Structure 1
Amino acid sequence: MAKEYDLIVIGSGTAGSVTAGKCREAGWSVAMIDELPFGGTCALRGCDPKKVMVGVTEYLDGMERLKGFGLAGDTRISWRDLMQFKRTFTEDVPERRVKRFHERGIDTYHGHAAFIAEDKVQVNDETLQGKKILIATGASPARLPIEGSKYFAYSDDFLELDDLPANILFVGGGYISFEFAHIARRAGADVRILHRGDQPLDGFDSDLVSRLADYSRDLGIDLQLGTDVKEIQQTAAGYNVIGQQGNETKAFKADLVIHGAGRTPNISSLNLEQANVNASRKGIEVNEFLQSTSNPNVYAAGDVAATQGKPLTPVAGMESHIVCSNLLKGNHRTAGDQVMPTSVFTLPKMASVGLSETEADEKGIDCKVNAMELTDWFTYKRTRQPVAYAKILIDQEKDRIVGAHLLGHEADELINHFATAIQFDIPTGDLKRMLFAYPTAASDITYML
């Protein structure tokens, strides 16, 4: 006999946890299911542990840049110490998350969830029936048509390496590959990235990407573009990765081969057809209320939902609040035009918000493009940053910022100021009159407009 709940949530990351908690506070009976340790990708296997590791490499990078300019002596990264430090942020997350769920009166089920009817889910040997069901299973690495793909390691594996391999190869030139490549290279590994296209980091401004790519090569990362990976071969010493570059076939040796070629919605094993839930390669098809277009009692949020939102934790959080409000009060709330900045946590960092030049042109916006090399600006010169660049797009008719693209060690924080200006439609004239604390990266904004 099925155990009945007002709400069943599949996935314990940001999107699932927020909705489960708020619906429980409203008096609903709630079940939370996850086949992985409770806590979700960001807290356990993604942005949080990654940022801890980036922080350590950032200090090392700063010391290297300022050696002979007030700093002396050598230092290096101890990989084992770094991993031990990282684990202080992740090891107790599942236990704490489950304890918090139970304190709130949320039932937890650890196992794989699959639909067996429009309102029923099978998990382990139990059947759960929900008046409403939220799918928040996130994303998983995309399946690649590569012979020997079983030899891939993944981002989860990289974040749990007890020892750093001497030679690491990343397949795909996305943000995961670049961020981990920068970490591994500064920790002493030989690193190579093989990317199929002519430009990595799709979706970011090409001028910034080319500068970051050049600096990555200067750092010692072997970035090979136009390389179509065909096969991974296991050898006695490690792996051979076979790639096609034009008419030439090349073999690259590695101790570890990591999948960094994108992620797709995690829906393949949910038995969605049993629930009459339509989905595409972009995820679960939802309306503006994040409600399934084919099963009105099912909602989806986060990376698993086929929305315009980027696959980022803040978007998952925002969508969870939308779902919760619509569950409790009936469908009334939509995402609207929410501005979402994004950052690549390489060193230097790269960040973007709003429109690209191409997108602005397609919309017919008469833009003034302020493109600036920043390495001689005080903010960047005082720490001897070798690469710093900004491109700000301003709608000349409306006197509004429509896009901002930044490269530099302060980019991840600075981009939020531009996001605020775009979201709340602040004229550039008003921004120029702002009094920012000085000298700070934010105080440079008035000179960028």
Structure 2
Amino acid sequence: MATNYENIIIGSGQSGTPLAVAFAKAGQKTALIEREHVGGCCINEGCTPTKTLIASGRVAYLVRKGPDYGIHTHTPEHKTHVNMAMVDMLKVRQRKRDIVTSFRGGSETKLKDAGVDTLVGEATFVDKKTIQYKDNGGNVKTVQGQNIFINSGARPAPPFLEGVAFLDQKLVLDSTSIQELDQVPGHLVVIGGGYIGVEFAQLFSRLGAKVTIIQHGKQLLPREDEEIARMLQDIFEEDGLTVLLKSDPVRIAPSSTGFTLHYQANNSDHAIEGTHILFATGRIPNTDMLKPEAAGVKTDKKGYIATNEYLETSSPSIFAMGDVKGPPSFTHISYDDFRILRSNIVSSSSSLTSTKLSVKDRIVPYVVFTDPQLAHVGLHEGEARTKFPDKKIQTAKMPMAYVARALEMGESRGMMKAVVDGDSGLILGFTCLGVEGGEIMSTVEVAMIGDVPYQKLRDAILAHPTLAESLNNIWGFLE
């Protein structure tokens, strides 16, 4: 016998949990199916734990930088470089676990208080209205829903490298397992120079590991403007990381110290010894076990669920949200997906307007939590020139060394870059590689949302000395 619901949500990520709560509070019988932990990737394996770990890495960095500020944690004749002996990884890891548990508990409480039926198990479509899942006791249960919402997320792509199966698998890491290390690696080799790769590379370098990044492309962070990516690489190399561009791993084999990785660069073969290897080469959608085809839900060649601008799939009354529908894969995008569905479905019955919200033309911000942070919103320069070939596109670039507050903090590495429509003055895009870059970027994003031209920021009275005050000055570099 199937249990019937008005709404079934598959996955408790940053769309699924608040949507389930909204439905339940609206008096609709709602179930949420979660196979592992409430809270989704963000709380359990993504934003919350990684930024907690990065905070520990920053403290280690500041300990090492103490003498630059006249602060000595040891007598001056002793080295102040942070090494593995000074890092208690068990404490670092436990702090991360405690914060994750706290956040997860908050999500569980919200679901319970709202009256959502939380069902634990792996969901599989039977047809357009029917889902089966296997509970903790191994029993197969069946549920049916008038509306079904897929928020099943994504997971790290498995490593594809000759010889990796012959390694001690404790040395082979992905973005989830690396967070459970109980000691700092001797030499961490990171395969992939994207957002995930660079964050973990810098983190473990700051905790005392030797770190090498092997990146296929010509720059770190391929989506970013070349000068921004180059500056981040310079910062990494200044801090002791090794960055190998235009390099490809070929095979790996066990060695007495861990492994030998053979890679190719500049049409020649090279080898490097390491103790741990992190594969940060992308993520894949959690749709294989879901069997969306049984419900008539179409996916692309990578397995991501296809949706229209209203998050509707190819099957009536089935919607998809968050990472499972493909990039951009950010928590705040997933949460915005929730807002769209809440407005269009939950609130539509009481709304006086028929206007539907959609994903069309939404402004997308993001932050790479390196230190300094790399924050961006809107269009990159190349994107703006391609999208608006007839517009007068101007750019402004300013080093963070021109920002008084950054100099006073002793954190002046990086730069800011703005892209504007030279005729209207509207800001089309903004990047900040700098201390608290995400906060500076967010100020610019608010201006973009309100169609505020750059001249208003240029002429605004911004408190001195703040980082945001730099938004008075960058426009003097427009060209």
Q: Secondary structure at the match of 1:159?
A: helix
Higher mean Cα deviation, 421-430 or 19-28? 421-430
Structure 1 stretch displaced more, 206-215 or 161-170: 161-170
- C-alpha separation in 1, matches of 2:412 and 2:340: 43
- 1:89 aligns to what SS in structure 2? helix
Taking the aligned partners of 2:232 and 2:153, their CA distance within structure 1 comes to 29
Structure 2 residue 208 is the aligned partner of structure 1 residue 168: no
CA RMSD of aligned residues (A): 2.0
Query: Do residues 264 (structure 1) and 284 (structure 2) align?
Result: yes
The amino acid of 1:389's aligned partner reads M
The answer as to whether partners of 2:164 and 2:253 remain within 8 angstroms in 1 is: no
Quick check: 405-414 or 145-154, which moved more? Answer: 145-154
Q: Which residue of 2 aligns with 1:115?
A: 125
- Equivalence map 1:203-218=2 (5 Å): 203-218=223-238
1:146 is the counterpart of 2:161: yes
2:246 aligned partner: 226
8 Å contact kept, 2:309–2:359: yes
Which residue does the alignment assign to 1:354? Answer: 378
Q: CA deviation at 1:335?
A: 2.4
Q: 1:43-54 alignment to 2 at 5 Å?
A: 43-54=43-54
Aligned twin of 1:340: 364
SS at match of 1:122: strand
2:446 maps to which residue? Answer: 420
Structure 1 position 274 matched with structure 2 position 294: yes
Shift of 1:144: 5.1
User: Residue 381 of structure 1 corresponds to which residue in structure 2?
Assistant: 407
1:243 counterpart letter in structure 2:
Y
Match of 1:404 among 417, 427, 430: 430
CA distance in 2, matches of 1:390, 1:96: 37
Q: Contact 1:171–1:177 (CA<8 Å) still a contact in 2? A: yes
Per-residue deviation, 1:35:
1.4
| 2:346 pairs with 1:319 | no
* 202-211 or 374-383: bigger deviation: 374-383
The alpha-carbon deviation at position 376 of structure 1 amounts to 4.4
Structure-2 residue corresponding to 1:133: 148
- Which letter does structure 2 place at the counterpart of 1:315? I
Q: Distance in 2 between matches of 1:407 and 1:115?
A: 44
**Are 1:158 and 2:158 an aligned pair?**
no
| Residues 122 and 282 of structure 1, relative CA distance in 2, 3 Å threshold | closer
- Mapped to 2, the partners of 1:439 and 1:302 lie a distance apart of 39
- 394, 402, 406: which one aligns with 1:368: 394
CA distance in 1, matches of 2:450, 2:106: 37
Which TM-score applies when normalising by structure 2?
Answer: 0.88
- Identify if the C-alpha distance between structure 1 residues 248 and 350 changes in structure 2 by more than 3 Å, giving closer, same or farther: same
Instruction: Say which SS state the counterpart of residue 176 (structure 2) adopts.
Output: helix
Q: How many Å separate the matches in 1 of 2:440 and 2:270?
A: 41
**Deviation of residue 45 (structure 1)?**
0.8
| CA shift in 2, pair 1:339/1:315, >3 Å | same
- Residues 298-319 of structure 1 show CA distances to partners (whole Å, capped at 9, x for unaligned) of 100011114xx62111110000
1:27 and 1:87 mapped to 2: Cα distance? Answer: 35
Residues 68/285 of structure 1: CA separation in 2 closer, same or farther (3 Å cut) = closer
> Distance between the aligned counterparts of 2:228 and 2:4, measured in 1?
53
Cα distance between partner residues in 1 of 2:396 and 2:12: 43
| SS, match of residue 126 in structure 2 | strand
Contact 1:13 1:42 in 2 (8 A): yes
Q: Is the 8 A contact 2:157 2:283 kept in 1?
A: yes
Shift of 1:140: 1.4
The C-alpha deviation readout for 1:210-229, integer Å capped at 9, x for no partner, is 01111111211111111112
Aligned to 1:290: 311
Cα deviation digits, residues 102-150 of structure 1 (max 9, x gap): 2221111222111111111111010111111110011112345423455
Once residues 82 and 376 of structure 1 are traced to their aligned partners in structure 2, the CA distance between those partners, rounded to angstroms, is 35
The alpha carbon displacement at 1:93 in A equals: 4.0
Offset, 1:79: 2.3
Structure 2: gaps of 5 or more residues: 75-79, 135-139
Change in Cα spacing, 1:282 to 1:389, as seen in structure 2 (3 Å) is: farther
1:437 positional shift: 2.0
Shift of 1:96: 4.3
User: Residue 49 of structure 1: CA displacement?
Assistant: 1.6
Contact 1:373 1:390 in 2 (8 A): yes
Name the counterpart of 1:447: 473
Contact 2:5 2:146 in 1 (8 A): yes
- 1:380·1:388 contact (CA, 8 Å) conserved in 2? no
From the superposition, tell whether residues 212 and 92 of structure 1 become closer, same or farther in structure 2 (CA, over 3 Å). same
Look up the equivalent residue of 1:446 and give its one-letter code.
Answer: N
Count, aligned residues:
446
Q: How do residues 81-96 of structure 1 correspond to structure 2 at under 5 angstroms?
A: 81-96=91-106
CA deviations on 1:54-78 (whole Å, 9 max, x unpaired) are 2232234345445243322346443
- In 2, the alpha carbon distance for the partners of 1:408 and 1:229 equals 31
Distance 1:11 1:236, change over 3 A: farther
Aligned to 2:9: 9
Larger mean CA deviation between 112-121 and 358-367 belongs to 358-367
Q: Equivalent residue of 2:228, what SS?
A: helix
Deviation at 1:264, TM superposition (A): 2.7
Displacement, 1:388? Answer: 2.2
Q: Is the 8 A contact 1:267 1:304 kept in 2?
A: yes
| Contact 2:288–2:303 (CA under 8 A) maintained in structure 1 | no
In structure 2, distance between residues paired with 1:144 and 1:420: 40
Residues 103-112 or 311-320, more deviating? 103-112
Alignment of 1:291-310 (within 5 A): 291-292=312-313, 294-306=314-326, 310=328
User: 1:78–1:187: 8 Å Cα contact kept in structure 2?
Assistant: no
* Further displaced range: 107-116 or 74-83: 74-83
Q: What secondary structure does 1:279 align onto?
A: coil
Rounded to whole Å, the distance in 2 between the matches of 1:25 and 1:233 is: 56
Q: What letter matches 2:9 in structure 1?
A: V
